[in-house]
Homo-oligomer: A and B are copies of this chain.
Amino acid sequence: MSDDITIRVLLADDHPVVREGLCAMLESADGISVVGQASSGEEAVALAARLSPDIVLLDLRMGGMDGVEATGHVLRGSPGSKVVIVTTYESDADILRAVEAGASGYLLKGSSRQELINAVQSAARGETVLTPSLAPKLFRARAVETPPLSERETEVLRLVSQGLTNAEIGRRLFIGEATVKTHLLRAFRKLDVSDRTSAVITALERGLL
């Protein structure tokens, strides 16, 4: 038997090429219909509220509002919709936040047509689907979950990333060098590193700067 109703999908991605590709892949499946396309998070939220689609396919990285934020807004504005995230990178700390925001699926852009279609259908049935290669990363990410950096720590780290010395940072922020070192040491602990270079790199990797 075929599905009783057609799954209505809204696409959101800032790259026309990707929208076109997702659209072509989904339309080729029976029982899936793309009812709208958005090129930004804001647009996606507005369209979702108006169309109440079954599934909203969201890119994690878009101009303006990012995918995580958009996930929350879409779900609030259209409670019947499920959100499936499509992302290019596996290393996104945002994935975790997207889960917490209520997304029901995570796909890589490297996924095949069949994986994409399966994911949409599963999500429509209320299941949560993860790209196979993504699942382990999720747990790893959870394992190394980072205690949040304080505002000051982030600020200091950002200046470190611009190549300033501790003394320069102190002058820049009107605080003593001792204070700068304190902030940095605490940031090191939180990031589980022991030098400024690693700190900056892991902070960048985790999208903390």
Contact = CB atoms under 8 A, between A and B. Distances in A.
Interface of A: 14-25, 86, 88, 109-113, 116, 160-163, 165, 193-198, 200-201
Contact of A25 (B20, B86, B162, B194): B20
Contacts of A195: 163, 165
Given A196-B197, A197-B196, A200-B197, A111 B17 contact: yes
A18 B109 contact: yes
11 contacts: A15-B109, A16-B113, A17-B25, A17-B110, A18-B18, A18-B21, A19-B21, A20-B113, A162-B198, A163-B197, A165-B195
A86 B15 CA distance: 12
A18 to B, nearest CB: 6
B193 A163 contact: yes
Chain A facing B: main interface SS: helix
B201 A110 contact: no
Contacts of A88: 15, 88
A149 to B, nearest CB: 17
B15 A24 contact: no
A129 B196 CA distance: 42
Given A16-B110, A17-B21, 17 more contacts: A15-B21, A16-B111, A16-B112, A16-B113, A17-B25, A18-B18, A20-B22, A20-B25, A21-B22, A161-B197, A161-B201, A162-B198, A165-B195, A196-B197, A197-B197, A197-B200, A200-B201
Contact of A20 (B15, B24, B161): B24
A17 B163 contact: no
A183 to B, nearest CB: 16
A120 to B, nearest CB: 13
Contacts of A16: 21, 25, 109-113
A20 B23 CA distance: 9
A18 B112 CA distance: 11
